A = this chain, B = another copy of it.
Amino acid sequence: MPKPSSFRSRLYEIIFKADTPAGKAFDVILIGIIVFSVLVVMLDSVRQFHERFAPLFNALEWGFTILFTIEYVARLYCVQQPLKYAKSFFGVVDLLAILPTYLGILFPATHYLLVIRILRVLRVFRVLKLVQYLGEARSLLLALRASSRKITVFLVSVLSLVIILGSIMYVIEGEENGFTSIPRSIYWAIVTLTTVGYGDISPQTPLGQALSSIVMILGYSIIAVPTGIVTVEMSRTTNKKVLTRTCPVCSSEGHDADAIYCKYCGAKL
């Protein structure tokens, strides 16, 4: 927290906290501007709108950029460690939200700046982070982190499976049926195993259809594995009622509600 120097600490409270009326209002207005600015980027990409409203969109874009720049500077000003904030995930996202417009002056506007602009949508999470969803988001993340190893094993298995299945289909179906290379056949295997099924490449030979039937049933069945992993982990996290407690010694998180000592370093919580 910053030193209690009147203005700066007041600003800090408005921008970074959500429990005062001013802080809440700031969050609601900010989230509105973010959503509106993302909408403008999206609509600007539609040819008909771009042709008719290009000057308006440009003006709005500059308006958002100036607003976000003021906000970015204010954030830098009121935090204790500006560098640490600037290097943090949300600090980088905040910078990326304003950079493309300024870069657009130097370089001719390219498509690539568009994507960076759209990253503004991530700023919504900064606001979400501050309010009552914090606990829910954390318990979701904890469950996913706790199951990350099992999910890695699962993903490596799925990747090996689609590489092998894709190669077999490349040999069975061949170039004349759209399986022009192994990477493309692997793309098909992923489309099929994940039950997406575009239909842009589909097996034509009876043998290929038989094999892809097996792939489908496999994909249909093994979706149970990530589901099972996450469900079990979530049920454990939820039942344990993990509090937002952090070990004062080793900074580890995820301690049980009834824990008295840190399970990693033995320090008193």
Contacts and interface: CB of A to CB of B under 8 A. Distances in A.
A238 interface: yes
A124 B156 contact: yes
Contacts of A58: none
A168 B180 CA distance: 25
Contacts of A233: 228
Interface size class of A (residues with CB under 8 A): 35 or more
A160 B263 contact: no
A60 interface: no
Contacts of A158: 217
B223 A223 contact: yes
Interface centre among A155, A232, A260, by most chain B C-beta atoms within 10 angstroms, is: A232
Nearest to A264: B260
Interface in A152-178: 152-160, 163-164, 167-168, 170-171, 174-175
B216 A194 contact: yes
Interface in A34-79: 38, 41-43, 45-47
A167 B266 contact: no
A115 B167 CA distance: 6
Contacts of A150: 136, 139-140
Contact of A223 (B46, B137, B220): B220
A23 interface: no
Nearest to A252: B258
Interface in A243-269: 255-256, 258-268
A192 to B, nearest CB: 6
Interface in A176-193: 180-184, 186-187, 190-193
Interface string A114-133: 11001101101100100011
B226 A221 contact: yes
A198 B197 contact: yes
A234 interface: yes
Given A114-B170, A184-B209, 6 more contacts: A45-B183, A115-B164, A139-B150, A193-B220, A199-B199, A266-B268
Interface of A: 38, 41-43, 45-47, 111-112, 114-115, 118-119, 121-122, 124-125, 128, 132-133, 136-137, 139-140, 143-144, 149-160, 163-164, 167-168, 170-171, 174-175, 180-184, 186-187, 190-200, 202, 206, 209-210, 212-213, 216-217, 219-221, 223-236, 238, 255-256, 258-268
The list of the 6 closest CB pairs from A to B, nearest first, reads: A261-B266, A196-B197, A198-B199, A224-B230, A259-B263, A194-B220
